[in-house]
Amino acid sequence: MMNKNKGYVNQDYLSQAAQMFAPIKLNSYEKLQANNIHSLIDVGCGTGIDTTTIAQLHPQIKNIIGVDYDKEMVEQADKLAKEKECSDRTQHQHANSYELPFEDNSFDAVRAERLFMHLEQPEKALREMLRIAKPGGRMVIVETDWASMSVNNGLDELERRLSHYFANEFLNNGYSARRLPGQFKAAGIENVEIEIKSLQSYDFQLWLLLSQHTVMMEKALQDNFVSQKEFDAWNSNLEDNSSKKSFFSTINIMTFSCDT
């Protein structure tokens, strides 16, 4: 599963990201066609932001399960469900996405958001998600295409190198979004709808948090992927652009939806 030291995200990250991702999250809920389902699982549920929100938006869904590899996240998710008064229909449990503890054809809908970028064996997780989905059910997967991240810095060649480094070295599966279409086909799913949305940020501090930029750059320097001179110039340019209010960054988010 996911290595906590590689691309690991904490609760503050998830909370801030949830606010920025709000329109994409709502779109993913709509693609679940929730009015027609009675059972749902969110794989990689984190702190339960999505399971509890879906429970509140769709009270007719009587069985909502969230699973996550991080036991602390699961505890927080159960706490949030109680706070939102939906714990009677929303439960969370510790589980490995490669071996989901459910029978075949268990759920009307299966959802995952920003999970696959952490997985070393994404094909195995996708097969598991398809296994537990009912025939004719719905699947929605939201993934960040980290290699598409672009930031106004002025050091364009270095920016492309760092984009590749982040996607290929800092995360287990940073190219997850662009690889999913082929993985769906390999699993026998042909008719997958794909939506691509670009997220933009003018907020330098928010971008620092969501891109995990500081940790990434320190690791790049430690790995000798960048020199000290490049490291200093890159960070200096970002700070300068921020002070001049010319900071800008964009990244693509892909939403995959299909019948199972």
> What local confidence, expressed as pLDDT, does residue 4 receive?
44
Sketch out the chain's domains with CATH numbers.
11-149+172-202+252-259 (3.40.50.150)
pLDDT in tens, the chain (260 residues): 334 444 444 555 556 666 778 899 999 999 999 888 999 999 999 999 999 999 999 999 999 999 999 999 999 999 999 999 999 999 999 999 999 999 999 999 999 999 999 999 999 999 999 999 999 999 999 999 988 989 999 999 999 999 889 888 888 999 999 999 999 999 999 999 999 999 988 989 888 887 888 988 999 999 999 999 999 999 999 999 999 999 999 999 999 999 99
> What local confidence, expressed as pLDDT, does residue 39 receive?
97
**Torsion angle, alpha carbons of 48, 88, 78, 71, to 10:** -90
pTM for the complete prediction?
0.89
